[in-house]
Amino acid sequence: MSDADSAEPEQESDDDDERIFSLDHTETGDGDARVTGVVKSRHIVTPGELVTAESMWMRGHGTYSVGVKSYSSVAGTITRVNKLLSVAPLRGRYDPKIGDHVIGRIIDVGTRSWHVDIGAKQAAVLMLGSVNLPGGVQRRKSESDELQMRAFLKEGDLLNAEVQAVFTDGAASLHTRSLNYGKLRNGYFFTIPSSLVVRSKYHTFDLPGGVDLVLGVNGYIWLRKHTQQLGEQGVSITRLAEEAGWEIYSDENEYISPSIRENIGRYANAIKALQYCEVGVNEARVIAAYEASKEYKSPGEMIENDVKKRIAKHVLLATKG
Amino acid sequence: MPLSLTEESYLNVSLSQRPPCRPDGRNHLQFRPIDAAAGILPTTNGSARIRLDDGGECIVGVKAEVIAVSRGSEVISVEVDCDIVGLPANSPLQNLLCATLETAIKNSLPLRLLRITNKYRYKIFVDGIILDHVSHPLTLFSMTTYLALLDTRLPRLAPDSAGRDNDDKDDIGIPQFSSDWDDADRLCQNWSPPLVQLGIIVGKNVFVDATGEEAEVSDGGLLTVWHDGRVVGLRVVKTRDSSKQVFSVSSISNAVEVLANASRDIEKALKGIITY
């Protein structure tokens, strides 16, 4: 049995009012770690590792308790909010939050909704009433809904959307009620782990080289030829219906020049280089990686692991501070 | 692999243009990095494992069994079996892999390499398992089998064993083998196994080491069997549901040339892993 040693005085850390707890792994007779009273926030633990033996903590996600001791059930970092102690996993499925800008793929067409794969534990739902219907058409409530729905979005289509709500079971409800969202075209799709995407205010970027990046918070990524998006012209909500014509659901790409295609390939490899080295992805780092990669005449050279490491190293130096 | 119409169109146009633009910028002959190791299964005569960049993984073990044969029999006994995780046994893909490799090995393996005595011979079993695959596993399986065969050693007869070098005598005894594993013969001392390569055809272009999405927008695939410095066999292969079954002669001959070059390079690379 380990004792909670409460003799340690409270230490004020520099950032906020944290009571810091540390684990002292001195072995007692039965091999238990002795808690001396301090646990560092952002301390990394592995599954089965003792987190704390103090009973004052509430055990959150990523922990399990045996008696009074709490152990981590995942590999991750300890996080605490007031009295809630949890372990946030280093790798896990994307967890939808309201307001997240995500990319999804239609997997099923229902009666008045679509099911969308966003890489979460559950498929997201996109209601018919949450999409832009072109030309000011009223939402149909007739039986022809199902047939008409495939004319807008069918199985396999990619789109970007915002998480409008999260159901109690964790499933997300999406909407594309803005000209920034909708069906994706003129580009290339790939995925990275969602934990490597740095959350920021905007997730659509205009990158040098004529390429746009849509960096989904769920790790789904779309790189496309830069085109003047309808939403960027500042369309007001009242003109939404007139401005959004049938072209927003078009399945045709524009002409994309070979140099733009090569740039898209270069950006894709740059992001994959960051992924390989477990570097978080944001706009500045993607651009830095792209610039660093220009040293390699052919983007195909960037698939080698040592090149990826060199690029990531350069990015971290260039974007420090 | 689900792709939207716009994705398919983007990839198809990129791969069809001259010169082509692959999504990761590779040229048509460029392979992604692989992780290869031989001699990993101690209970086999030879083994190898290869892992691809996209997570594809294959392990092959080669075992040799002593069988009795009738005098003068010319039958080369080789059995190739491959288990693809996630697919039922005897799926078309599995049959393609096994049948292709088995035929290729049987047609190229010299009988004398399997001979022990007049009456006894080795039967070679090649057992593979494809633990994961995103792209077509044929090239992966062939490369791993190639490496496993390079690693294969067959025990030699014990020095005092009867009928060892004598072709005329009617040998009576069951062969006794030397228990010194270092004394074993390399199967590939004077022979190179065949190598099967799959290339995908998109328009007038041919690509090796296609990713899953590249194969999804291809017109079809060509499989070549490479042995002894040249292509000895070929076959049109479906790379997606709507693959074409018929190609022009110029398409095929272009693809054969590309795959021959690739096979030559790969053979050199794989041989570099095993040092004799």
CATH code, A3-89: 2.40.50.100
CA distance A70 to A2: 12
List the single range of A167-171, A218-222, B153-157, B262-266 with lowest mean pLDDT: B153-157
Mean pLDDT of chain B: 90
**Structural contact between residues B153 and B189, judged by C-beta atoms closer than 8 angstroms:** no
Domain borders along chain B are 1-30+194-276, 33-190
Please judge whether B2 and A107 are an interchain contact, meaning their C-beta atoms are less than 8 angstroms apart.
yes
Interface test with B, best of A105, A159, A184, A189 (most B CBs within 10 A): A189
pLDDT score for B126: 97
A234 in B contact zone (CB under 8 Å): no
Residue A167's CB is within 10 A of a number of other CB atoms, namely: 12
Q: Is the predicted pLDDT of residue A31 greater than 50, yes or no?
A: no
Count of all residues that appear for chain A in the document: 321
**Structural contact between residues A297 and A307, judged by C-beta atoms closer than 8 angstroms:** no
> What is the mean predicted confidence (pLDDT) over A23-37?
38
- In angstroms, how far is CA A244 from the centroid of its own chain? 28
Q: Is the predicted pLDDT of residue B179 greater than 90, yes or no?
A: no
Give strand pairing partners of B230.
Answer: B227
Residue B88's CB is within 10 A of a number of other CB atoms, namely: 7
CA distance A105 to A114: 10
* The listed CATH number (3.30.360.10, 2.40.50.140, 3.90.700.10, 3.40.50.970) that belongs to domain A93-184: 2.40.50.140
Give the rounded percent of residues in chain B with a pLDDT score beyond 70. Answer: 95
Please judge whether A262 and B25 are an interchain contact, meaning their C-beta atoms are less than 8 angstroms apart.
yes
- Find the closest chain B residue to A256 by CA distance: B10
- Find the closest chain B residue to A106 by CA distance: B4
Q: Is the peptide bond before B19 cis (omega within 30 degrees of 0)?
A: yes
> What is the mean predicted confidence (pLDDT) over A202-209?
94
Confidence of residue A248 (pLDDT cuts 50, 70, 90): confident
CATH code, B1-30+194-276: 3.30.230.70
Q: Is the predicted pLDDT of residue A262 greater than 60, yes or no?
A: yes
**What distances in angstroms separate CA A306 from CA A309, A312, A316, B257, one per listed residue?**
5, 10, 16, 31
pLDDT in tens, B194-226: 999 999 999 999 999 999 999 999 999 999 999
Please judge whether B10 and A187 are an interchain contact, meaning their C-beta atoms are less than 8 angstroms apart.
yes
Give the rounded percent of residues in chain A with a pLDDT score beyond 90. Answer: 58
- Architecture (CATH level 2) of domain B33-190: 2-Layer Sandwich (3.30)
Three-class DSSP labels, A72-117: ECCCEEEEEECCEEEEEECCCCECCCCCCEEEEEEEEECCCEEEEE
Chain A residues close to B7, C-beta within 8 Å: 158, 188-189
pLDDT in tens, A154-205: 999 999 999 999 999 999 999 998 888 999 999 999 999 999 999 999 999 9
pLDDT score for A234: 53
List the single range of A88-102, A146-160, B128-142 with lowest mean pLDDT: A146-160
Tell me the nearest-neighbour CA distance from B50 into chain A, angstroms.
Answer: 16
Domain borders along chain A are 3-89, 93-184, 185-225+257-321
Tell me the nearest-neighbour CA distance from A103 into chain B, angstroms.
Answer: 13
Please judge whether B6 and A300 are an interchain contact, meaning their C-beta atoms are less than 8 angstroms apart.
no
